[in-house]
Amino acid sequence: MKKIITTIMTLLMISSLVSSQYLFFSTLESNIIIVSGDYGEGTLTVVNNGDKEFQVVSYRRYYAVDENNKEVSGIRLEIYKPTGELISPGVLYTYWKPGEARTLRYKIHVNESVKPGKYTLFIIFWGFSGSGEISIITVPVSLEVTDIPLIFKETLVRIKERGVPTFHVLNGETLEIYSTIYNLKNSPVSVKGSVYLEKDGERYLKKEIAVNLTPGENSVQVNIPIPYDLPSGQYKLVYTLIYPKGTYLFSKEFYISFGVDLVEISLEKTQIMEDESNTAYLTILSERIIPVNLSIEVYGTNNEYMYNQTKEITLNEGSNVAKVTLPPLPSGNKKIIGKILFRNIILDQDSSDYDVLAYPKIEKVSYQKLSLASTKGQIKFLVEISNRNPHEMKGTLSYSFFGVNGTILKASKDLILIPGKNEIEFIVEVPLGEIGYEISLESNGKEQKVRGTLKLELPSSTTTSSTQSSSSLTSSSSSQVPPEESSTRYYYAVAIASLILVFLLLFGYYLKHKKPRRKRKRPKPKRKSPLGRFRKPKKPEIREYKELPKK
């Protein structure tokens, strides 16, 4: 009897299925990814897309097809109640209203024999309405099978000290590399790799990586400190992770610099005199607050080292101006080199130059007595001036002469001094006696004075007078002579004077006893007329008449 009832019920259900509705419900999840040889579990959100309420919804079966709609084996589905109880075909939901979403817990096993690719998993439900109608509900689920166990979601690079992503890194800062990796497998996956900076084919700061990724989402972090001595330039960050059946490669371009630039060296004066100091101003741009050393070197002709100064300064963010005083230096062109250093690392440098001019200098003053009169005399002065500069210099030569009663003569003249030796002459007329003089040279605000004395007096005799009038140039500079040398010269002078006196006496005696010669008179020349030879005119003849002429 039971067999008859069961058979009748089965026939009724089959007959009802023949007349049942076919519905397709959707899921909010788009895709499920599972590694071949592993399983995946989770929840699906299924929405009642029908227009009727189901009193009972029963899970019946499932099947999977590939992209060619060909059914495949090796994929196994397990459905669980919200309480966690495994359901073989049986009731899953009750009172499911139209538009309502229900949660479906699942576990999908994929054999290693299933090739990587995209599949569709169809889950079949029976829905029973209050009127007894049966609807066959199909829920299609997109399934992707892969042999790569990891999904790399994102990789970020930022500066640790500033906490922001950037393309410009400063020496001394730290690069932080963050990777978010999802492990699809239900067992840990071992990952190895490396990270380094690359420039012009060379690798810098290479760091090895080894990590085990647990199932689900993982965060991998690697730090690379940038040393202060790493040269500035464009670098490429290369980040590599190697895992079973795959390699992840990430790269990014960065510009690395210290962030301190010496923009310009300017000078207060580009031309100074040899006793003047100069001031250099160094303009520095900085992207950070940091103490540095400022070095100034000065070189002369032929790269001759002349001066050096180093001091520590603290740079602020933005523009900085450092002031350096340069001491007086010898004449010539000077090259200044400014350097910014940090821990003996040269960050940047620049150069400038300026000229140091030498003052024109009176090297020698000499004079020559030209003529003497009863009350005054003429003297020619020669002043030798040196100009050690490579170009012309302007100056003023002034001279003053003093007697017993004060200033006798005062004058000046403007000069254009050529490079090298200059000889300046001038003639003055001064009274007889002891005369003092002062010769000064003024150029570029500096004055040099030379003082001396000279004595003008009439000679005691004609011979002596002629000797003095033809005297050679005399230098105004006096020098001290040792006593022995002075006495020797005195004896020589006395001897020479005695010889001259004897010679003069003999010459006078000779002139006295010599017979005077009769002077020869030259005949006067005949005077000639400018009109030629002059002939004396004849006297006119006067005729006398004894008688008067007749009328």
Is residue 531 situated within a structural domain? no
Own/partner pairs, 82-90, CB within 8 angstroms, 24+ separation: 87/59, 89/58, 89/59, 89/60, 89/61, 90/58, 90/59
Is residue 510 situated within a structural domain? no
If asked whether residues 439 and 369 sit together in one domain, one would say yes
Helices (H) and strands (E) in the chain — how many of each?
A: 3, 36
pLDDT tens-digit map of 103-149: 999 999 999 999 999 999 999 999 999 888 999 999 999 999 999 99
CA distance 432 to 375: 6
Q: What is the CATH number of the domain that holds 226?
A: 2.60.40.3880
Q: What is the CATH number of the domain that holds 104?
A: 2.60.40.10
pTM exceeds 0.85: no
Among the listed residues 227, 220, 215, the one whose alpha carbon sits nearest the alpha carbon of residue 250 = 220
If asked whether residues 346 and 437 sit together in one domain, one would say no
If asked whether residues 282 and 386 sit together in one domain, one would say no
Supply the mean pLDDT for the chain: 84
If asked whether residues 233 and 135 sit together in one domain, one would say no
**Domain-ending residue, one of 443, 466, 489:** 466
- Sheet of 26-27, strand order: 26-27, 39-47, 101-110, 75-80, 86-87
CA distance 22 to 15: 15
Q: Is the pLDDT reported for residue 226 higher than 80?
A: yes
Give the tokens for residue 50.
């029908």
If asked whether residues 237 and 323 sit together in one domain, one would say no
Could you please report the per-residue DSSP string of 398-423? EEEEEETTEEEEEEEEEEEEPSEEEE
If asked whether residues 101 and 122 sit together in one domain, one would say yes
Number of domains within the chain: 4
**Domain-ending residue, one of 146, 165, 199:** 146
If asked whether residues 131 and 25 sit together in one domain, one would say yes
> Distance from CA of residue 380 to its chain's centroid?
60
Among the listed residues 44, 49, 131, the one whose alpha carbon sits nearest the alpha carbon of residue 92 = 44
Cβ-based neighbours of 201, under 8 Å, separated by 6 or more: none
Is residue 117 situated within a structural domain? yes
pLDDT tens-digit map of 345-374: 999 999 999 999 999 999 999 999 988 888
Is residue 489 situated within a structural domain? no
Q: What is the CATH number of the domain that holds 300?
A: 2.60.40.2550
Could you please report the per-residue DSSP string of 450-467? EEEEEEE---SSHHHHHH
| Total Cβ atoms within 10 A of residue 55 | 15
pLDDT tens-digit map of 492-535: 566 687 788 877 877 776 666 655 555 555 555 555 555 555 55
If asked whether residues 186 and 248 sit together in one domain, one would say yes
> Distance from CA of residue 65 to its chain's centroid?
68
pLDDT tens-digit map of 70-86: 999 999 999 998 888 89
Among the listed residues 378, 517, 514, 364, the one whose alpha carbon sits nearest the alpha carbon of residue 439 = 364
**Domain-ending residue, one of 433, 466, 499:** 466
Is residue 500 situated within a structural domain? no
Is residue 475 situated within a structural domain? no
What is the span of the domain harbouring residue 395?
A: 361-466
In single-letter form, the type of residue at position 393 comes to M
Could you please report the per-residue DSSP string of 506-540? HHHHHHHHSPPPPPPPPPPPPP-BTTBS--PPPPP
If asked whether residues 25 and 129 sit together in one domain, one would say yes
**488 three-state secondary structure:** helix
If asked whether residues 251 and 214 sit together in one domain, one would say yes
Is residue 3 situated within a structural domain? no
If asked whether residues 77 and 134 sit together in one domain, one would say yes
Phi, then psi, of 495 in degrees rounded to 5: -60, -45
Is residue 476 situated within a structural domain? no
